[in-house]
Structure 1
């Protein structure tokens, strides 16, 4: 058995959740915040048998797409107006970051 930890952008969260339910996979959703853009994310915890890993990864890939977004960067120097970049920067957001962990034991009560 494996534990899939998938961090996805909030915009993709409901679509992914619905797709997992449609395929009879259970997941726990946790609200999380990304470090780079300080944007909202959702972290999914999905326990699956080894033979279903590829199916779950495909569902994640199909429902969590990377996209370009304009953001106004916040200065690493804090609120100092001299270090502020006055124009938006295009960055890639979305997609999914996925970790697959071995589950040593699973119990359900």
Structure 2
């Protein structure tokens, strides 16, 4: 058995969770924050049998597409002087960790 930890954008989390549920994966969702943009993310925790890991990754990959967004950025030019300008950044996609599970108990 494997433990899949998938960090996805909040924008993708509902669609990914629904698609995983349709494929009979049980998903636990955690609200998380981090990264360069300090944007909200969702960490999905999924217990997966070894032979279904590829199917789980396929669902996540199909629903979490990378995209470009324009976000405000602030630069400091002098003490107390700031300028705001838009910056294009790539968002979306998923970061996935797959861990071995030594034991699993459902009580």
TM-score of the superposed pair, with normalisation by structure 2: 0.91
Q: Deviations over 1:24-55 (max 9, x none)?
A: 10010000012310111000000001000000
Q: Could you tell me which residue of structure 1 aligns to residue 95 of structure 2?
A: 97
CA distance in 2, matches of 1:92, 1:35: 12
Q: CA deviation at 1:15?
A: 0.4
Q: Which residue of 2 aligns with 1:45?
A: 45
Structure 2 counterpart SS, 1:86: strand
Which residue is 1:5 aligned to?
5
Q: Structure 1: give runs of 5+ residues left out of the alignment.
A: none
Counterparts of 1:22-61 in structure 2, within 5 Å, are: 22-61=22-61
> How many residues in Structure 1 have an aligned counterpart in Structure 2?
105
- 4+ residue segments displaced more than 6 Å: none
User: Displacement of 1:81 after TM fit?
Assistant: 4.3
How large is the RMSD of aligned CA atoms in angstroms? 1.5
Structure 1 residue 85, shift from structure 2 partner = 4.5
* Gap runs ≥5 in structure 2: none
**Mapped partners of 2:48, 2:10: distance in 1:** 23
CA distance in 1: counterparts of 2:83 and 2:99, whole angstroms: 40
When you count strand as a share of all residues, which structure comes out higher?
A: 2
Superimposed CA distance per residue, residues 32-91 of structure 1 (whole angstroms, 9 cap, x where no aligned partner): 01231011100000000100000000000000000000011256x8xx643x44211000
Deviates more, 1:47-56 or 1:33-42: 33-42
Question: TM-score with structure 1 length normalisation?
Answer: 0.90
2:63 maps to what in 1? 63
Question: Following the alignment from structure 1 to structure 2, what is the Cα–Cα distance between the partners of residues 29 and 74?
Answer: 32
